[in-house]
Amino acid sequence: MKVIIVGGVAGGASAAARIRRLNEAAEIVIFEKSKYVSYANCGLPYYIGDVIGDPARLTVQTPESLWSRFRIKVRVSHEVIDVDANEKRVKVRDLTSGEVFEESYDKLLLSPGAKPFIPDLPGVDSEKIFTLRTVEDTFKIHDFIEKNAPQSAVIVGGGYIGIEVAENLKERGLAVTIVQKPDQLMNTIDYDMATFVHSKLRSKGIELKLSSNVVGFKNENESIATLLDDVTSLASDMVILAAGVIPENSLATKIGLATGVRGSIVVNDRMETSVPDIYAVGDAVQVKHFVSEQDASIALAGPANKQGRIAADNICGGDSRYQGSLGTSIIKIFDMTVAATGLTEKAARDLKMDYESVALFPHSHADYYPGSKTMIMKVVFERNTFKLLGAQIIGSEGVDKRLDILSVAINAGLSADKLQSLDLAYAPPYSSAKDPVNMAGFMIDNIRKNIFKQYHWYDDAALPRDGSVILLDVRTAHEYAKGHIEGYINVPLDELRDRIDELDKDKKVYVTCQSGMRGYIACRILAQHSFDCCNMSGGYMFYSGVMREKSLAIETYPCGIEKN
């Protein structure tokens, strides 16, 4: 059996190694368009920032190492330009010599990845404008910085690559501005969670231009101007285009493969395309979202590796199936970690799901043990079935652990209230006896049992301020004096029982505290004295973080602060 693989990196290289492990006799050939067959794509921004100093560290495998260990033939700087599916032949161009030749195959695997989205705008071809997708892109940016010593940069796009590049350029001493068309960075998290990311970036000196649309670029002497639709422009020494990626489908469309979302290659759960004996994996393919079951294009290394393994199994006569993707992701932003899995509230709303969420501010480990830090956790679930839909966490320590637990829980079909039952490792340096994941489960279980009701920061604006309801802040007088929501009266929690007669039982009570816990206790007290009470999810800390960002204030309640 002869297998030709178009593209290496995550999906293609992992498939090739798996095929060899399953079939020692197979002839395996990889044609890779770039000069590198298997590299750490996710590490590229950190080479720009000199966090990774040795460029060789970016290379996971080389043509020589793949031949030595697996007897896989690798042809870098070779582009497959056409496929004859009937004759089972590919046409290949050697990008170094220009020679064009043909190769036969029994099975063909496409792993072309994705390519940066480059908007069709005036001046976009400037030599001061860069994209970041390949090792060559990284070297080009790094060399430009070394030779030209730029003092400023504009990043167009606020996704993962854009933010990582912004951090690394800032750490190198550049003045950095991120321009983003939507009103938030990172579409993998909700707006309210993104406001804490905005605050962190601003606190590090990165300027954000949100809700700003780039309409072109213009070289001006030694700098380049990024032109915005509000007639303003941003002058900088370089520009990085990081406005997302699109599936690389040029070969697939040329040979007539079915395509779907954003032009991605349609495959079944065996990673088979619409043409027999042609498989496809990685960033170029359409997948099913594990929660919504909607078709999606999800460009992540983890799914690509798994898909490569599944395609290899099936090429070798097996029957492996891809179950879909949750889109689980994580990013380092200076000393902050942001992670997400499954659906956001916005995604659930767009899908017209009946959803609910809880927000909490647990500590990374037992708060009496030194170094405890705060994280923000949001868990989204279906209101009636309590099916887990997604989760988002921001913090500095322990974020990856909790997010991975929640990802596994979603994958396993665990209902949201069952998070309280998970038996998770505990010792004071690592967690609390009630782990943050357990705490989210306790909160959701209370909702399921109708033990308490909640409202959200975005509901507050609609609450009447005419005295027809009671708006109650149960923090201490000192906390209240430092800042509170307009219209809320202050009755500290520890005084509530003694002052309960000051409240009118005929009026509904909306309670807030610092993070939600004291508000919950207050509601339990009030409910047992015949009050109808709702608690603000996430409390004043969540509310003020969002509102301060909305007003473009830089200061906010930070995540990952040392506990006092």
Contact call for residues 486 and 471 (beta carbons, < 8 A): no
Which two structure tokens, joined as six digits, stand for 299? Answer: 């460009």
Contact call for residues 260 and 252 (beta carbons, < 8 A): no
Distances (CA, A) of 501 to 227, 375, 495, 498: 61, 36, 11, 8
- According to DSSP H, which parts of 35-91 are helical? 44-48, 63-70
- Nearest partner of 52 among 37, 65, 42, judged by Cα: 42
**Backbone phi, psi, residue 484, to 5°:** -155, 170
Q: How far apart are CA 57 and CA 213, in angstroms?
A: 37
Distances (CA, A) of 244 to 35, 187, 216, 227, 327: 23, 11, 17, 19, 15
Is residue 559 annotated as part of the catalytic site, yes or no?
no
Beta bridge mates, 235: 225
Residue 483 burial by CB count (10 A; 0-12/13-18/19+): exposed, middle or buried? exposed
**Backbone phi, psi, residue 306, to 5°:** -65, -40
Residue indicated by tokens 């990008």: 95
Which two structure tokens, joined as six digits, stand for 439? Answer: 């705490």
Q: How far apart are CA 364 and CA 399, in angstroms?
A: 8
Beta bridge mates, 437: none
Which two structure tokens, joined as six digits, stand for 16? Answer: 């090739």
Active site residues: 42
